[in-house]
């Protein structure tokens, strides 16, 4: 801990974060896939992804701090011509593989949706989109943030993003 004297002359104690290289062993995997479920006047695709990473401090045997939890994403995407609509669920597993100096990060399940329109104009490709994130306004935390920052700044709640992208 570090003691600091504030403007009023009182001493405040703050945790000290010392980042040091350690001998570590990391492993993980990432899977991602998409399959066509229906081909009607519109296409319907099932999408999914799963990833996991784990790490161990080889000196102490403890898990490495601030690694992302296992994440699972599954969604449906439909498209016809320039239009694409999607809905998906993201599940962030409880991150309980933490060192003794940290606490577990709770799990969360977030629902997202999007709608986009693409158009080609000469050499330029234009996309207009609306994205709705965390529709259920679920409280979720970033396991890779420092513990003090994690508790003070959870992941964003319900949000809408509207955008225009032009690539040429």
- In this structure, are residues 141 and 148 in contact, taking their beta carbons and an 8 Å threshold? no
The reported pLDDT for the residue numbered 84 is: 98
Residue range 109-142, pLDDT digits in tens: 999 999 999 999 889 999 999 999 999 999 999 9
- In this structure, are residues 67 and 143 in contact, taking their beta carbons and an 8 Å threshold? yes
Model confidence at 20, pLDDT cuts 50, 70, 90, reads confident
Residue range 40-79, pLDDT digits in tens: 899 999 999 999 999 999 999 999 999 999 999 999 999 9
Angle 114-41-126 (CA atoms, 0-180°, nearest 5)? 45
Q: Does residue 161 have a pLDDT over 90?
A: yes
The reported pLDDT for the residue numbered 15 is: 80
**Least confident range of 5-9, 35-39, 135-139:** 5-9
Model confidence at 37, pLDDT cuts 50, 70, 90, reads very high
Q: Does residue 146 have a pLDDT over 90?
A: no
Greatest Cα-to-Cα distance within the chain, rounded to the nearest angstrom: 73
The reported pLDDT for the residue numbered 147 is: 85
With a threshold of 0.85, does the pTM exceed it?
Answer: no
The two three-digit tokens of residue 77, written as one number: 């995407």
Distance CA 119, CA 114 (A): 17
The two three-digit tokens of residue 107, written as one number: 């799990």
Q: Does residue 167 have a pLDDT over 80?
A: yes
Share of the chain above pLDDT 70, in %: 100
Quick one: average pLDDT of 132-160?
A: 92
């Amino acid at each position: 801990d570090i003691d600091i004297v504030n403007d009023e002359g009182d001493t405040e104690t703050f945790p000290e974060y010392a980042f040091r290289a350690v001998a570590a062993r990391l492993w993980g995997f990432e899977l991602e896939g998409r399959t066509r479920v229906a081909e009607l006047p519109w296409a319907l695709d099932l999408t999914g992804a799963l990833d996991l990473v784990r790490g161990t401090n080889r000196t102490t045997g403890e898990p490495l701090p601030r690694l992302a939890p296992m994440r699972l994403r599954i969604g449906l995407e439909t498209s016809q011509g320039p239009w694409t609509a999607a809905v998906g669920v993201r599940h962030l597993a409880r991150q309980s593989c933490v060192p003794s100096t940290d606490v577990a990060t709770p799990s969360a399940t977030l629902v997202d949706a999007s709608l986009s329109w693409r158009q080609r104009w000469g050499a330029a490709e234009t996309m207009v989109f609306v994205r709705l994130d965390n529709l259920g306004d679920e409280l979720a935390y970033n396991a890779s943030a420092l513990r003090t920052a994690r508790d003070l700044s959870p992941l964003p709640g319900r949000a809408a993003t509207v955008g225009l992208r032009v690539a040429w």
